Amino acid sequence: MSDMQLKKYAGYTDFPGPVVTVVMDGMGIGPADESNAIHVAYTPQLDELAAEPLAMQLKAHGTAVGMPSDDDMGNSEVGHNALGAGRVFAQGAKLVNAAIRTGAIFTGKAWSEILSRTAQGGTLHLIGMISDGNVHSHIDHLYAILDRAAADGIKRLRVHGLLDGRDVGEKSGLSFFEPLEQKLAELSTGGRDYRIASGGGRMITTMDRYNADWRVVERGWQAHVLGQGRPFASATEAIRTYYAENPDITDQYMESFVIVADGKPVGTIENGDAVVLFNFRGDRAIELSRAFEEADFAEFDRRRVPEVFYAGMMQYDGDANIPRHYLVEPPAIDHTLGQYLCAAGISSFAISETQKFGHVTYFWNGNNSGYIDEKLEKYVEIPSDRIAFDLRPWMKAAEITDQVVDAIRSGRYKFIRLNYANGDMVGHTGIPIAIRIAVETVDMCLTRLLKAVKQAKGVAVITADHGNADCMWTEKKGVRSPMVAHTKNPVPFIIKDYSGANNFSPAKVENPGLGNIAATLCNLLGFEAPAGYDPSLITLRRE
């Protein structure tokens, strides 16, 4: 494609080493106090980097990454979209909000088929996370579907609700499920029967990602589809019981449950029903979608596979067509950095462990699976531990570093990108000692990696996709509460140039954010930024 050609950057001098981009997932810039794991951890390498002349701060939340407002935290998916796309696209919640506002969500083929199924006696099942975290879902979206279902005459509806405790307060489930039960009761008039049918914590039930632990999806299938799980009379009774039995339990790790009446589940999924997964974010929605749609599915024994119409809130993987039906069109991201670099013949290497592998590949490449050009690219996934992250906060950072050092020394790749998942995945646990170890692990690995970049006479770029480890708790009236969600703090952006070939200085960019990084990487690789990209954060002095 002629429009994918990059222009050479005037005055640029080539150098032998690679450009290595490190995404320190979940490591933002927080206050200099003991709530900030990055501040209290031993991080000599990060401390040294912070003093670099090409060290700056970037926005990584809200409108800077395509979210509806600056009240919205960023997340890894929209962050990596912006990193790889070079500009900001309307994302998840913003797209859904617009579709609800215009009514477009209810005028497409998917909603029409749902109405057809339910008019013939089928039940509408709504599966998704019950919270206002606005990262995977938003309860307002569920309420909009409930109201429209009632208005369109759907008689029988079941909600299969997943507790969050990760993007919102760790034990906030009742604040969402109590009003939901009340709303469903209010809608259950005029012959309508709307209830919660099953649920569970997001990290235990349904919402696995990247094939890390299919048992999570299997538990969801058993609860939502088969009606198998610990029985309760209501969701709020289930939550209160679990809290009482284990005061240390948090919502995200709550066991699955099934609502029963007269000894029978109230909402199994049967032939002729319609099912909507109302989460808008893709990574933790793909596996359940596969379980509903794949005829030759073999990840676990589904036992019974009802004939249903299944739709996602959005299409979670456009390249793999998962799912086939969806309510809201996803953002169309084109002209990604990866496409430009492949067109320019730049060889690249991308690596992370399972928990973030899709971020340096699928999300970086504009929500597209697979290689852009397999001859020029190599993607490596390190299998993540299948254990609570606070128990092994070092995760797979050392293994990732080993392979990146080898890739640098091989001389085969001009552009290398990697993601250290520690700050985010361990940050979500809310365990301070584990989060500090996670941060120190990243710092230690950076030291090793930068030595290899220096030996190769390359350039290192260090940044983050959003904050998390930079706030371990909040304090109110002397009482500390774990902070397990992402922060809205800025993130670091640091260039460490070991090549000695070019004299870059900071550019004047208004409100810089993650979308500016792709243009910057183009400059570091010797190209002008493509038309339409957010401006570069650096400029080349040509004295």
Q: pLDDT tens-digit profile of 161-218?
A: 999 999 999 999 999 999 999 999 999 999 999 999 999 999 999 999 878 899 999 9
Q: What is the DSSP letter of 340?
A: H
Q: What percent of the chain has pLDDT over 70?
A: 99
Q: Can you give the pLDDT at residue 68?
A: 82
d(C-alpha 53, C-alpha 359), whole Å: 29
Confidence of residue 36 (pLDDT cuts 50, 70, 90): very high
Q: Is the pLDDT of residue 157 over 90?
A: yes
Q: Is the pLDDT of residue 135 over 80?
A: yes
Give the neighbor-by-neighbor strand order of the sheet with 459-463.
55-58, 491-497, 459-463, 19-24, 415-420, 348-353, 377-382
Q: Can you give the pLDDT at residue 543?
A: 63
Q: Can you give the pLDDT at residue 2?
A: 60
Lowest mean pLDDT among 51-60, 474-483, 502-511, 516-525: 474-483
Task: Identify the CA nearest to 196 among candidates 149, 157, 155, 222.
Answer: 157
Q: Is the pLDDT of residue 423 over 90?
A: yes
Q: Can you give the pLDDT at residue 476?
A: 86
In tens, the pLDDT along 440-461 reads: 999 999 999 999 999 999 999 9
Q: Give CA separation, 275 vs 160, 163, 164, 304, in Å.
A: 10, 19, 21, 15
d(C-alpha 316, C-alpha 280), whole Å: 8
DSSP 394-432: TTTHHHHHHHHHHHHHHT--SEEEEEE-HHHHTGGGT-H
Task: Identify the CA nearest to 79 among candidates 71, 88, 429.
Answer: 88
Indicate which residues carry an active-site annotation.
Answer: 76
Q: Can you give the pLDDT at residue 485?
A: 85
Q: Can you give the pLDDT at residue 211?
A: 87
488, two tokens: 């809205």
Task: Identify the CA nearest to 51 among candidates 445, 527, 492, 431.
Answer: 492
Task: Identify the CA nearest to 224 among candidates 167, 154, 295, 159.
Answer: 159
Confidence of residue 257 (pLDDT cuts 50, 70, 90): very high
Q: What is the DSSP letter of 8?
A: B
In tens, the pLDDT along 51-62 reads: 999 999 999 999
Lowest mean pLDDT among 12-16, 47-51, 329-333: 329-333
Q: Can you give the pLDDT at residue 240?
A: 98
Contact 15, 454 (CB under 8 A): no
Q: Can you give the pLDDT at residue 127?
A: 98
In tens, the pLDDT along 351-388 reads: 999 999 999 999 999 988 899 999 999 999 999 999 99
Lowest mean pLDDT among 11-15, 70-74, 513-517: 70-74
Q: Give CA separation, 318 vs 214, 325, 368, in Å.
A: 22, 11, 6
Please report the domains of the chain, with CATH numbers, ordered by start residue.
Answer: 2-91+333-487+500-540 (3.40.720.10), 93-328 (3.40.1450.10)
Q: Can you give the pLDDT at residue 403?
A: 98
Q: Which residues of 28-61 are buried (b: 16+ CB within 10 A; e: fewer)?
A: bbbeeeebbbbbbbebebbeebeeeebebebbbb
Q: Can you give the pLDDT at residue 369?
A: 86
Which whole number is the average pLDDT over 69-83? 90
Q: How many residues does the chain have?
A: 543
Instruction: Give the list of residues 6+ apart from residue 275 with CB closer than 8 angstroms, or none.
Output: 124, 125, 127, 269, 292, 308, 309, 310, 311
d(C-alpha 64, C-alpha 97), whole Å: 17
Average pLDDT value over all residues in the chain: 96
Taking the alpha carbons at both ends of the chain, their separation in whole angstroms is 35
d(C-alpha 455, C-alpha 453), whole Å: 6
Q: Which residues of 266-300 are buried (b: 16+ CB within 10 A; e: fewer)?
A: bbbbeeebbbbbbbbbbbbbbbbbbbbbeeeeebe
Q: Give CA separation, 220 vs 206, 245, 364, in Å.
A: 4, 22, 29
Pairing of strands 19-24, 459-463: parallel
Which whole number is the average pLDDT over 291-311? 97
This prediction's pTM: 0.78
Which whole number is the average pLDDT over 386-403? 97
Which whole number is the average pLDDT over 107-124? 97
| Residue type at position 153 | G
537, two tokens: 């954060």
Q: Is the pLDDT of residue 438 over 90?
A: yes
Integer-rounded Cα Rg, in Å, for the chain is 24
Q: Can you give the pLDDT at residue 255?
A: 98
